[in-house]
Amino acid sequence: MKLDAKIPEGPLQEKWSRYKATCRLVSPNNKKKLDIIVVGTGLAGSSAAASLAEMGYRVKTFCFQDSPRRAHSVAAQGGVNASKNYQNDGDSAFRMFYDTLKGGDFRAREANVYRLAECSANLIDQAVAQGVPFAREYGGYLANRSFGGVQVSRTFYARGQTGQQLLLGAYSALSRQVAEGNVQLFARHEMLDLVVIDGKARGIIARNLDTGEIERHAAHTVVLATGGYGKIYYLSTLAMGCNGSAIWRAHKKGAGFAAASWTQIHPTCLPQSGAYQSKLTLMSESLRNDGRIWVPKKAGDDRPPGEIPEEERDYYLERRYPAFGNLAPRDIASRAAKERIDAGFGVGPQRNAVYLDFAHAIEEYGIDTIRERYGNLFRMYEKITGHNAYKRPMMISPAAHFSMGGLWVDYELMTTIPGLFAIGECNFSDHGANRLGANSLLQACVDGYFILPYTIGSYLAGELGTGKISPEAPEFDAAEQAVRDQLARLLSIQGSRTATDYHKELGALLYDKCGVLRTREGLQQAIDDIRALRADFWQNLKVPGSAAQVNSELEKAGRVADYLELAEVMCYDALTREESCGAHFREEYQTAEGEAQRRDGEFQFVSVWGYTGPEEEPELHREGLVFQTIQPSVRSYK
Amino acid sequence: MRIQLKIWRQENARAQGRMVDYELADINPEMSFLEMLDVLNEQLIQRGDMPVEFDHDCREGICGQCGLFINGRAHGPQAATTTCQLHMRHFRDGDTIYVEPFRSRAFPVIKDLRIDRSAFDRIIQAGGYISTRTGDAPEANALPIGHKVAEAAFDAAACIGCGACVATCKNASAALFTGAKVSHLAMLPQGRPEAAERARKMVQQMEDEGFGHCTNTGACEVECPQEISIRHIARMNFEYNRAGVLRK
Amino acid sequence: MNRTLSLPNNLARKNLMALTGLFLCFFLVIHLAGNLQLLLPAERAQLQYNHYSELLSHNILIKVVSYVLYASIIAHAVYALVLTVNSRTAQGGQGYAYDKRGAASTWYSRNMGLLGALLLAFLIFHMANFWYPYKFGEVPVDAAGRKDLYRVVVLAYREWWYVALYVVSMLVLGFHLLHGFYSAFQSLGLYHSKYGRWVKWAGQAYTLVITAGFILIPIWVFLTKPMP
């Protein structure tokens, strides 16, 4: 596996403009001869499909939801970062670049991160032009708020529904292209395999989820924008349908999988209330602007929060990280919460939560201000838990949220399979070992609106002589047969356990061994356990019905089968990285104060995993990280 | 808790459906309604039956994919709540709960409780956008928009496209869905240039999809999880009429 | 697909319903104003009411307006029928097994068609009683030599069941107006929250005046008016 990041020459600030000025272009009359498949219709997928169609390419777009507007970008609450410096607090593209790189614990490529910061301002312009109703000040100008891990206010927001509004903006742009006939939309379709012909990505096999039909779709290039795989933990902030199948199946066809184990555990989610639980709802990180996190100083304190006096409360984030306090980055806040919970200071009926308290903020700003800032979040909290957070503190708990890891991509967002691009959360590029809040929407949009439209042209300029790709090629036959065989196999087992049952067990295992805290022994044990679980899955799975009908159990089973393979790579990834960085915290590698200990000498690289065959150990490749502009420092938020 | 369920089962789009009775014991009041259906489905699979197909995805009230008609109401008895946010604590031990799909000719049943709402997508495709190119756009702060206007536009833009408005409407009208989008874009200066044409096209698409008319009963705004006001329907009507009056 | 009757969509049809409805609302004001003359002392009421009736039936302008009125009534009813049929189609064949949708809106806003149909039946009865005899039938003349419509009215309102029928019909009208007046403005596009609220209040006040007025007249006549 050759890992050439293809970073342009020149000073950091000029790399992207140089690239844009010199990359190969496709002329307008040639674009309509080129077909592009975009899988996924979240922010990355919709924005890419809309942009590419607008440029003149012929686009097919796929999503498993019943409408592109439902992709899980819709659920992002807090906001989107951009270095506009509207607040005159000293923000700039460079500062944003530095914050992001530091937030990711210096485990991302400088050039990619700088480009993200550089394009951020343009995204706000773009979204406003589409009619995204961002929050505004009374003078009519855009408002900002603060997010974790930074000391400026650069987050733009639309109440607690920023992701929804940005997605609807992208969806409207996509809809416009569908109406103009430039995009063919395939909703309720799930990609089940990638077709590679002569080493290049040339199409996909998809299943129509409403009829069960297996379809072939050919194109000159395939773009994956399928989001994160945090649902592998079963209990997560992700949607029920979120999955890693598209990228995993691309991985099995040769795409390198980077930093598989770097999963962000989000500190402010609603705690699990019972075994039936299907997801953990995220409460926006923006709540940490005004909410204070604490646990009782006495372990097992059973008093209601209101009866615990001030001096018997431990505001542990403020205590440990005085400079950033409650706005410490997510990985740090999650780890600190887990540390308290594991030490017996957890609150709530299951003792698995910490308090997020607004009493001080209400006292300081008044209940109306708090209601205006977070009213919808408080209401959501009450709907789910039945408790009023104006009166008593919220109870929150960490939950799996974002996958920093994903398909390895170069500067052009192309994977190790030529012609296969990965954009948005499904790739590994900009966030390093930990993503800062409000950078996820940004990355998805920037990849789709501003980067891929340029870089894909560079690839497609070399494809003009290829002619139409035929879906009758033998590679399509083979891929379709493999898909049919797998579906038949899943249906034929007829054992006694459902796919969800396996998924829950896998999730619990990963939380325990490959979650916030990891150890060598735990990960080694996990690999064995996952193998055993996978073997049991293929012996004992029960999927009702047939493949020729609507069958959500069959869909789930296919996804869980992939998770059972991906989970193993995650554990190898975490096991071989003998350092702590960002979201990856190895118990063996910590400072005396219990903070993460990076080992730049040995591990200043990105682990990229190659597929070697079923039941084979994955193969590790390394992309070394070179820091030319800044020097990695100890990531301190104290 | 112990509950009785009466659920609409329908093999496929062409088949005849019917209400089928189920019984569940040991339901935890902290469960969400969909988690209760998960429990039922796990039991059905173990019994060798087909599980009940229902639409759902994010399970936090924002994707708009879940939508069940529960005890005679769209998204159940709670106000401003999607089906996924409804919890079993709002029911009583021993209750009988009716679960049906959202009904309307424009939302055909695919299977059981799962319906096809692509008509909504086609209404948006007819004009629910601002025709701006992606890529370069003018500086965002060059266009000040008053706080109140932005907030009002957000109120309309908050629509999650679940279809509860159609399901609860005695005429199966999509006026609230369409009105919310027309209104959101008509309120913003960026959306003004196309406001008239947008209203005309989207209203006509709503007609062509087979939705009914709006009689302003206001049931939709009561059932809307995002509490979108029917004033947005009036704004759609206004833009539509303005288009007609000003047409050259 | 939907029945059209030459209009492109339901929204256009609803506009027509709103415009004709508001015109009928306007007519009700004139009608009530004229009929309030029945509340005058008997002698004066007889002369003035008959004079007024003659004026209405001979003025060319009023004649034109009356044709618009007839057209409005017919159009309002016909398009209501079209919309109702469309609504049936839009709902699809399968209804809800358990339906509590009513909890989300008022019963009269949901039953405008039924209320309208009752009103149409009343209207036919009403016109057969007064309008038809006055135009085409035998009506005695009063002291001034005018057709004595006053006498016809008072005679009719001397029957208690007749009065009761009128009162009930006017209540039907009241509920129809209570929703219809506001709904018409909503259909035509009055989206402003403040003025929308004002129109809602105005509609309620209007409904109260019209309904009370039309209820008062037969009762008043029944209780106070001697046979002329």
Q: How far is C100 from chain B (nearest CA, A)?
A: 4
Give the residue from chain B lying closest to A453, CA to CA: B135
Is the same domain home to B85 and B126?
no
Regarding whether A382 and A274 lie in a shared domain, the answer is: yes
Asked if C189 lies within 8 A of B232 by C-beta distance, the reply is no
CB contact under 8 A, B73 and C101: yes
**B216 and C103: CB-CB below 8 Å?**
no
What is the distance, to the nearest Å, from the Cα of residue A311 to the centroid of all Cα atoms in its chain? 39
Give the mean pLDDT of A597-624: 97
**Residue B19 has what DSSP assignment?**
E
Among all residues of A, which ones are annotated catalytic? 330
Q: Domain count of chain B?
A: 2
Q: How close A55 comes to chain B (CA, Å)?
A: 9
- A618 strand-pairing partners: none
Nearest CB to C109 within list B74, B208, B215: B215
CB contact under 8 A, B150 and A133: yes
Using the Cβ of A281 and the Cβ atoms of chain B, whether some distance falls under 8 Å is answered with yes
Residue A615 lies in a domain: no
Which token pair is A211?
């009829």
- In terms of CA atoms, which chain B residue is nearest residue A240? B57
From the CB coordinates, do chains B and C have 3 or more pairs under 8 Å? yes
Do B72 and C98 count as a contact with CB atoms less than 8 A apart?
yes
**C3 — pLDDT class (breaks 50, 70, 90):** low
Q: What's phi and psi for A622, nearest 5 deg? A: -125, 135
Neighbours of B124 (CB within 10 A): 26
Distance from CA of B20 to the nearest CA of C (A): 11
SS3 A635: coil
B73 to C189: CB separation less than 8 angstroms, yes or no:
no
Phi, psi of A163 (to 5 degrees): -60, -45
Amino acid at A456: I
**Cα A633 to Cα A106, A570, A597, C11, C227, distances in angstroms:** 8, 26, 11, 65, 107
Residue in B183, B222, B232 closest to C105 by CB:
B222
Across the B:C interface, residue pairs with CB atoms under 8 Å apart total 159
Contact A176 B129 (CB under 8 A): yes
Tell me what pLDDT residue B35 has. 97
Residues B91 and B125 in one domain: no
- Residue B17: list chain A partners with CB under 8 A: none
Determine whether the interchain pair B65/A545 forms a contact, defined as Cβ–Cβ distance below 8 Å: no
Best C15, C101, C192 residue to mutate vs chain B (most B CBs within 10 Å): C101
**pLDDT given at position B180:** 98
Quote the longest CA-to-CA distance of chain A. Answer: 75
A178 within domain boundaries: no
Given a contact cutoff of 8 angstroms between Cβ atoms, the answer to whether A203 and A259 are in contact is no
Q: Are A407 and A224 in contact (CB under 8 A)?
A: yes
B67 lies in some domain: yes
Q: Quick one: B155 and B225 in the same domain?
A: yes
Interface residue of B58, B102, B133, B160 to substitute, partner A, most A CBs within 10 Å: B58
C1 — pLDDT class (breaks 50, 70, 90)? very low
Segment B4-53, tens digit of pLDDT:
999 999 999 999 999 999 999 999 999 999 999 999 999 999 999 999 99
Q: Which residues of B fall within a CB distance of 8 Å from C81?
A: none
Q: Please judge whether B60 and A279 are an interchain contact, meaning their C-beta atoms are less than 8 angstroms apart.
A: yes
Contact B12 A550 (CB under 8 A): yes
Round the average pLDDT of chain A to a whole number and report it. 96
Cα angle vertex C218, ends C217, C221, to 5°?
A: 85
Contact, A434 vs A582, CB < 8 A? yes
Q: DSSP secondary-structure letter at C225?
A: P
Same domain, residue pair B95 and B198 = no
Show residues of chain A in contact with B89, CB under 8 Å: 386
Find chains touching chain B: ≥3 CB pairs under 8 Å. A, C
Supply the CATH number for residue A391's domain.
Answer: 3.90.700.10
Q: Find tokens 């042209």 and name the residue.
A: A457
A203 domain residue, yes or no: no
Using an 8 Å CB-CB cutoff, list chain B residues near A130: 129-130, 132, 190
Residues A396 and A481 placed together within one structural domain of the fold: no
* Contact across the interface for A498 and B28, Cβ inside 8 Å: no
Q: Quick one: A313 exposed, middle or buried, by C-beta within 10 A (0-12, 13-18, 19+)? A: middle
How high is the pLDDT of residue C227?
66
Residue C201 has pLDDT above 80, yes or no: yes
How does the average pLDDT of chain C come out, rounded?
93
Residue A483 is part of which domain span? 476-602
The DSSP bridge partners found for residue A399 are A266
Phi, psi of B16 (to 5 degrees): -80, 140
Cβ C186–B168 below 8 Å, yes or no?
no
∠ at Cα A409 (A39, A230), nearest 5°?
60
- For C104, nearest residue in chain B (alpha carbons): B219
Looking at CA atoms only, how far is residue B145 from chain A in angstroms? 4
Residue in B closest to A281 by C-alpha: B60
For B158-168, write each residue's pLDDT tens digit: 999 999 999 99
In a domain? residue B180 = yes
pLDDT digits (tens, 9 = 90+) for B136-153: 899 999 999 999 999 999
Q: How close does chain C come to B152, measured CA to CA in Å?
A: 11
CA-based nearest residue in chain A for residue B142: A141
Cross-chain Cβ contact B50/A500 below 8 Å: no
Residue A340 CB contacts under 8 Å (≥ 6 apart), including other chains? A295, A314, A316, A346, A354
Three-state secondary structure call for residue B45: helix
Euclidean distance between CA atoms C80 and C118, whole angstroms: 13
Rg (CA), chain B: 20
pLDDT of residue A623: 98
Contact, B114 vs A550, CB < 8 A? yes
Which CATH number belongs to the domain containing residue B37 in this structure? 3.10.20.30
In the numeric block, the tokens 């619990």 are attached to: A508
Domains: count for chain A: 2
Give domain status of residue B138, yes or no. Answer: no
Which member of A54, A72, A240 has the closest CB to residue B134?
Answer: A54
Q: Give the model's pLDDT for residue C144.
A: 87
User: Do A290 and A379 fall within a single domain?
Assistant: yes
Cβ partners under 8 Å of residue A374, min gap 6: A160, A284, A286, A287, A290, A358
CA-based nearest residue to C95, from C87, C103, C106, C83: C87
Q: Which of B28, B124, B136 sits opposite A175 (nearest CB)?
A: B124
Query: What residues in C contact B207, CB-CB < 8 Å?
Result: 2, 8-11
| Domain stops at, among A370, A400, A430 | A400
B221 belongs to a structural domain = yes
CA B60 vs. chain centroid, Å, equals 14
Chain B environment of C11 (Cβ under 8 Å): 203, 207, 213-214, 236-237, 240
Residue B128 sits in the same domain as residue B78:
no
Query: Amino acid identity of B145?
Result: I
Q: Kindly state whether residue A41 falls inside one of the protein's structural domains.
A: no
Q: Which residues neighbour B219 within 8 Å (Cβ) at sequence distance 6 or greater?
A: B168, B169, B170, C101, C104, C105, C110
Q: Is residue A92 classed exposed, middle or buried when 0-12, 13-18 and 19+ CB atoms within 10 A define those classes?
A: middle
Interface of A with B in 123-182 (CB under 8 A): 124-142, 158-159, 161, 164-165, 168, 171-173, 175-176, 178-179
Closest-CA residue to A226 (of A254, A200, A192): A192
Average pLDDT for residues A516-543, to the nearest whole number?
A: 98
**C113-167: per-residue pLDDT in tens?**
999 999 999 999 999 999 998 888 888 898 888 999 999 999 999 999 999 999 9
Q: What angle do CA B164, B167, B168 make, to 5 degrees?
A: 90
Q: Which two tokens stand for residue A584?
A: 């990856």
Q: In the predicted model, what is the mean pLDDT of chain B?
A: 96
CATH number of the domain that residue B239 is part of: 1.10.1060.10
Does the pLDDT at position C228 exceed 70?
no
User: Which residue in C4, C7, C16, C105 has the most chain B C-beta atoms within 10 A of its own C-beta, making it the best mutation to test that interface?
Assistant: C105
Query: Three-state DSSP class for B21?
Result: strand
Q: So what's the pLDDT on residue B81?
A: 95
Residue A84 is given by DSSP the state -
Residue C1's CB is within 10 A of a number of other CB atoms, namely 8
pLDDT in tens, C19-32: 999 999 999 999 99
Q: What is the dihedral of CA B229, B235, B240, B246, to 10 degrees?
A: 180
Phi–psi pair at A581, nearest 5 degrees: -150, 130
- The answer to whether residue A396 scores a pLDDT higher than 70 is yes
Q: Do B8 and C14 touch (CB under 8 A)?
A: no
Which residue of chain B comes nearest to A124, CA vs CA? B140
Closest residue on chain B to C100 (Cα): B72
Interface test mutation site (partner C, options B81, B209, B215, max chain C beta carbons within 10 A):
B215
Indicate whether C2 pLDDT > 70: no
Residue B83's domain comprises 3-114
Residue A619 domain flag: no
Compare CB distances from B61 to A380, A498, A552 and report the shortest one's residue: A380
Q: Which residues contact C134 (CB under 8 A, 6 or more apart)?
A: C53, C57, C147, C149, C152
Query: What DSSP designation does A23 have?
Result: S
A315/C120 Cα distance (integer angstroms): 73
Residue A78: per-residue pLDDT: 84
Give the residue among A488, A516, A509, A500 at the shortest CA–CA distance from A557.
A500
Size of interface A-B (CB pairs under 8 A): 226
Distance CA A316, CA A325 (A): 9
Contact A37, A221 (CB under 8 A): yes
User: pLDDT band at residue A619, thresholds of 50, 70 and 90?
Assistant: very high
Per-residue model confidence as pLDDT tens digits over C30-67 = 999 999 999 999 889 999 999 999 988 888 999 999 99
Do residue B122 and residue B58 come from a single domain? no
State whether B129 and B241 are in the same domain: yes
Interchain CB distance below 8 Å, C13 and B203: no
Same domain, B80 and B190: no
- Structure confidence at residue A147 as a pLDDT band (50, 70, 90): confident
B218: left (phi over 0), alpha (psi -120 to 50) or beta: left
Instruction: Please indicate whether, in this complex, the C-beta atoms of B213 and C87 are within 8 angstroms of each other.
Output: yes
What pLDDT is recorded for position A284?
A: 87
CA distance B60 to chain C (A): 24
Residues of B in contact with A84 (CB under 8 A): 140-141
Same domain, B194 and B219: yes
**Rounded distance, CA A106 to CA A630, Å?**
10
Question: For chain B, first and last CA: distance in Å?
Answer: 65
| Domain spans, chain C | 10-91+110-224
Per-residue tokens: A387: 């408790």
How buried is C160 (Cβ within 10 angstroms: 0-12 exposed, 13-18 middle, 19+ buried)? exposed
The model carries a pTM of: 0.96
